[in-house]
Structure 1
């Protein structure tokens, strides 16, 4: 819903006006470690170009929070020594004032606020991301009215978008027309101290790049005579050099990294010392290091014309539909979606809740996701993903259900489905036998994810049609051994909801309390009836989203096949699944040893990731013995698959072999450094387990004798992972081992799977790739029940047999990262019902490297 004009791919460059044209390519921060001092004659200029109206450069005569002293002489301006004879147009009036400071601290505080707001605007000029937010700039409160320097009593939050800002340049002691007026050294020091306080309130740091002597000055001070109080005060003439200074203000990511690690240490008791270089900055860290608001991920799924997009549009904007798709207009990304009425891409929206209050784009003060973060702080954020319903766009269905690892699925089914299914199926698939509702319902019930069902278009359905649709739904739920719960809405229309109606809230709370006591959310399926045309049931859906149980935070999984294993040192400390990639501006890192950066989006499986942290990304199929799409297209029988040979020798289904790890090229897991993080578009310092976001990474290029220095950015693709390199007991970094195949367990019989050697598509994590079936066998798993009286006898009497099929597959084109316990879908080349959603859903039990 945010404006498309909030992103500028080519923001104004931070370029010093002191740098000559032939040095224009120099970075203003290249000399940040040492302040350059010298005379004006060394620069060959007498004045700077006039201050630009826009851009990241600001000229300030001074940044004092008191009145400036009166000078009797300044060599940089034409000034008469007798102030009483100064003419109204004389430039001296700009630099002379009463030496008495203001007696009230209020003007000083107001000036500090204006100066800080101006600094924020200049910093935003060099940021590609421009967004408004209801969050106000937190200005430091001045402790007293006696001085300008010193630390403020509080520091504010880094404003949204500043972590991507390239900074701002402040020319202190320079007039707007470029005249080098200058300041005495004490006033210059006070101005720089004020600038540091302003920057600290925005989560930024200050580096003085250059200080230049531009002239001389003279003023008169009143001095008290020493030793004799009866003597009158005398006038003392003071002289000093006039200085101008150039300061660079940039987001302080290193300090933000320190703050993030301190938060991690306080949370889990660790030392938080992973790859952290000491910071030399003296500013305080930003106050907003991570988002602490609970976040729920929900994926909307369902057949074509089931009202998914209309429902999401109404929930996120408060706009009721007009029967012609009005409520879904804000979600459309392509022209053909508007023309055809069919959603082909994944749309994502954010809704905030705090108690019964609803925070979406119908709120008058909400313009972006950042405002929703602010209003829903310490409440709940619901991240909702839409998907296509047409079989042609079924890849968006699997992407929403697998890639984003939703906490809940919401299946949308039209109430009049029984009346339109025949015509819709004929239009979509040229076959009246296609039942898209049943296909979506069966897939949703197979996945190990809690499910809620929303019956849409209640205003269009007849009683007979609704009864027929509900009969199909309830039968499928009971066959899956789940418990349905009908939540009936009030028939009173609801428009522009600002809060959840009390009646709807009570209904959902009663159901949630019952679920907590009876077998958990996976066993129960709530069913809500809605009409976005009349607004019926919308409040009930809001109540459901605000109250659905949140799962526990994900933890690391052992990477061995043994059920009693405690894991292996190869297991990374943090894991991030990559779903999409974007370009990162090169200016994030000007080091010659770094390649261009990249932004990856996805979710944190476990662990945490912070700005400044060192990570690895992969796996890249560049090692020895890899099979790519263009290599060796012969059949598995002809080329002798190593996994097929393992099956023949009786070693199918074994876990990773750590004793003899495969040879892996050095660049299979390239190393990078995190430079920016967003959690649901909110700039943060840390992304924690279970959270969705995007991470900006700059890669480090290492030159060795066998490998020359590379300048190109690694081609990261969907399905890869970002990981924190694990360390063994000796402190050495362990190389991660990707999987060339795995074994998974399924409830279906082995005869239902494609024959051995068949090529299938497998989906797990964020991976969708081709694989070859190596082995499929049905085994009998015994389960027993016993009483406290005679366990052995009752177990023998009531022992039952459960059939489980173990299927081993080999990845064809490249190696992938796979985890034990991950849900996997195996799909053949065709679908019997024409929906494209038929597949076998199981769990990975063994991984082969």
Structure 2
């Protein structure tokens, strides 16, 4: 498992755009019956199966062999066996040289905060925006697109349900999509992918953002019922390079890890999962977990490490892993905490920090004492604006300003250069941390 390459892809789009179904078909190799059979195995809660809506951050993986062949359960014909034969993650990882981890996010407006958390907390390398061919870019799709652009994550688009959409409606959808992608806010060049060669080319160009020329946005017209264009989509996913090689993940720095989920596993104890943002970790390493509600860090020891449900001997920056911790109870951990290597200078949790922000969209003005929900990696907490350095003392849509923020309930571990998003129902303000106070 150590040498398996991993690419994290977040899947977003409006409710009923076919996100979970497309993932079900991509990862299991069967086709959908048009009535939602492909997505059942992806849902995590009974109420999701009943309503057909994702409300949590789900996960699925697709493995590729060294030759670029996708790994599926063999000979699937009917649903029952497909669900039973769902390959375990360990088997996939044994046979794979590369794994694409999908983060299945919710499309419904009510679950927007969960989706935002998945986008900022799970550190995806790419975003796949699903657009229902019969519905077009409506509702939350634009919102999700905006967040992906704000977080500076490369985007690919899938237009689904093309087997059932009337040609004139499909044409409207495509025109609208191209218009939005070319608009000044996006500035992406749409490219329609029709064959494997284009898919490989698009994957290489999408991943290389500093290449000259405008940024690409590949578009796949897929049908989960007929299977149209799905092989090209798989080829594209296979060719996407991992961002583990990225300069933002430094392997030879002290260990750092962001907690994005917590579990209590019988006979193991407390397990935290998330993304290692710097350094490497091995079992029996001494680490600090924090900050707790008082801003303190608790010493603990890493017992065991798992990647994709398979035990490994070490983990390094850029990988998503789960760590079992010694002598830590489940209630002591919350999402947004960090694990850092023990060092001479203890880590510091802060209540206040300064950020350079830009207001994307706000109906009125923002001034000091304004409060909103802040997302910064896996941290989500209400913050209050302490001061602005804008000459008028307030900021409106389109303004940029340096702002001092203060956490309302407890201190968090924030570092310079981290991206921040403020939301009040929808995304309003984006920025970057410039200074911890």
Which of the residues 145, 148, 152 maps onto 1:448?
A: 152
Q: What's the counterpart of residue 285 of structure 2?
A: 613
**CA 1:402–1:517 in structure 2 vs 1: closer, same or farther (change >3 Å)?**
closer
Query: Which whole-Å CA distance do the structure 1 matches of 2:98 and 2:161 have between them?
Result: 28
Report if aligned partners of 1:677, 1:685 keep a CA contact under 8 Å in 2: yes
Which of the residues 198, 208, 232 maps onto 1:507?
A: 198
Report if aligned partners of 1:762, 1:771 keep a CA contact under 8 Å in 2: yes
Query: Which whole-Å CA distance do the structure 2 matches of 1:474 and 1:316 have between them?
Result: 28
Query: Which whole-Å CA distance do the structure 2 matches of 1:750 and 1:468 have between them?
Result: 27
Q: CA deviation at 1:463?
A: 2.7
Q: CA deviation at 1:515?
A: 5.1
Query: Which whole-Å CA distance do the structure 1 matches of 2:50 and 2:366 have between them?
Result: 39
3-state SS, counterpart of residue 389 of structure 2: strand
**CA 1:748–1:572 in structure 2 vs 1: closer, same or farther (change >3 Å)?**
same
Query: Which whole-Å CA distance do the structure 2 matches of 1:452 and 1:370 have between them?
Result: 28
- Structure 2: where are the runs of 5+ without partners? 77-84, 392-397
TM-score, normalised relative to structure 1: 0.46
Which of the residues 330, 333, 343 maps onto 2:44?
A: 333
Larger RCO, structure (CA 8 Å, separation 6 or more): 2
Q: What's the counterpart of residue 763 of structure 1?
A: 375
The answer on 1:601 being equivalent to 2:273 is yes
**CA 1:317–1:441 in structure 2 vs 1: closer, same or farther (change >3 Å)?**
same
Which of the residues 303, 322, 334 maps onto 1:717?
A: 334
Query: Which whole-Å CA distance do the structure 2 matches of 1:748 and 1:366 have between them?
Result: 45
Residues 287-686 of structure 1: pairs in structure 2 closer than 5 A: 291-354=2-65, 355-362=67-74, 367-376=87-96, 379-418=97-136, 435-478=139-182, 479-489=184-194, 504-514=195-205, 519-520=210-211, 523-551=215-243, 552-555=245-248, 573-585=254-266, 597-622=269-294, 668-686=296-314
Q: CA deviation at 1:580?
A: 1.3
Q: CA deviation at 1:529?
A: 0.8
Q: CA deviation at 1:319?
A: 2.0
Query: Which whole-Å CA distance do the structure 2 matches of 1:366 and 1:341 have between them?
Result: 20
Report if aligned partners of 2:128, 2:157 keep a CA contact under 8 Å in 1: yes
Structure with greater strand percent: 2
Q: CA deviation at 1:716?
A: 0.6
Q: CA deviation at 1:838?
A: 2.7
Query: Which whole-Å CA distance do the structure 2 matches of 1:839 and 1:692 have between them?
Result: 29
Q: CA deviation at 1:698?
A: 0.3
Q: CA deviation at 1:572?
A: 7.5
**CA 1:333–1:366 in structure 2 vs 1: closer, same or farther (change >3 Å)?**
closer
Q: What root-mean-square deviation, in Å, do the aligned CA atoms of Structure 1 and Structure 2 show?
A: 2.7
3-state SS, counterpart of residue 672 of structure 1: strand
Q: CA deviation at 1:818?
A: 0.9
Report if aligned partners of 2:15, 2:108 keep a CA contact under 8 Å in 1: yes
3-state SS, counterpart of residue 416 of structure 1: coil
Query: Which whole-Å CA distance do the structure 1 matches of 2:196 and 2:321 have between them?
Result: 30
Query: Which whole-Å CA distance do the structure 1 matches of 2:400 and 2:46 have between them?
Result: 47
Query: Which whole-Å CA distance do the structure 2 matches of 1:736 and 1:684 have between them?
Result: 27
Report if aligned partners of 2:264, 2:330 keep a CA contact under 8 Å in 1: no
3-state SS, counterpart of residue 838 of structure 1: strand
Q: CA deviation at 1:750?
A: 11
Report if aligned partners of 1:529, 1:537 keep a CA contact under 8 Å in 2: yes
Q: What's the counterpart of residue 777 of structure 1?
A: 389
Report if aligned partners of 1:477, 1:484 keep a CA contact under 8 Å in 2: yes
Q: CA deviation at 1:578?
A: 0.5
- Structure 1: where are the runs of 5+ without partners? 1-289, 422-434, 490-503, 558-570, 589-596, 624-667, 701-711, 727-732, 780-801, 829-835
Query: Which whole-Å CA distance do the structure 2 matches of 1:294 and 1:517 have between them?
Result: 17
Query: Which whole-Å CA distance do the structure 2 matches of 1:750 and 1:323 have between them?
Result: 38
Query: Which whole-Å CA distance do the structure 2 matches of 1:669 and 1:332 have between them?
Result: 35
Summarize deviations over 1:452-491 as a string: whole Å, max 9, x none: 11111111222322222223322222223533232343xx
Query: Which whole-Å CA distance do the structure 1 matches of 2:111 and 2:336 have between them?
Result: 19
Report if aligned partners of 1:408, 1:451 keep a CA contact under 8 Å in 2: yes
Which of the residues 419, 422, 427 maps onto 1:826?
A: 422
**CA 1:609–1:473 in structure 2 vs 1: closer, same or farther (change >3 Å)?**
same
Report if aligned partners of 2:193, 2:218 keep a CA contact under 8 Å in 1: no
Summarize deviations over 1:57-85 as a string: whole Å, max 9, x none: xxxxxxxxxxxxxxxxxxxxxxxxxxxxx
Q: CA deviation at 1:363?
A: 7.2
Query: Which whole-Å CA distance do the structure 2 matches of 1:540 and 1:778 have between them?
Result: 49
Q: What's the counterpart of residue 695 of structure 1?
A: 323
3-state SS, counterpart of residue 392 of structure 1: helix
**CA 1:456–1:714 in structure 2 vs 1: closer, same or farther (change >3 Å)?**
closer
**CA 1:292–1:467 in structure 2 vs 1: closer, same or farther (change >3 Å)?**
same
3-state SS, counterpart of residue 357 of structure 1: coil
Q: CA deviation at 1:725?
A: 1.5
Query: Which whole-Å CA distance do the structure 1 matches of 2:156 and 2:390 have between them?
Result: 32
Q: CA deviation at 1:692?
A: 0.8
Report if aligned partners of 1:617, 1:671 keep a CA contact under 8 Å in 2: yes
Q: CA deviation at 1:524?
A: 1.8
Query: Which whole-Å CA distance do the structure 1 matches of 2:334 and 2:75 have between them?
Result: 38
Q: How many residues align?
A: 417
**CA 1:772–1:437 in structure 2 vs 1: closer, same or farther (change >3 Å)?**
same
Query: Which whole-Å CA distance do the structure 1 matches of 2:17 and 2:149 have between them?
Result: 18
Residues 57-72 of structure 1: pairs in structure 2 closer than 5 A: none
3-state SS, counterpart of residue 467 of structure 1: helix
Report if aligned partners of 1:670, 1:699 keep a CA contact under 8 Å in 2: no
Query: Which whole-Å CA distance do the structure 2 matches of 1:446 and 1:439 have between them?
Result: 10
Query: Which whole-Å CA distance do the structure 2 matches of 1:324 and 1:402 have between them?
Result: 32
3-state SS, counterpart of residue 675 of structure 1: strand
Summarize deviations over 1:159-191 as a string: whole Å, max 9, x none: xxxxxxxxxxxxxxxxxxxxxxxxxxxxxxxxx
Summarize deviations over 1:506-563 as a string: whole Å, max 9, x none: 2212334555777349922111110101101111110111112332345578xxxxxx
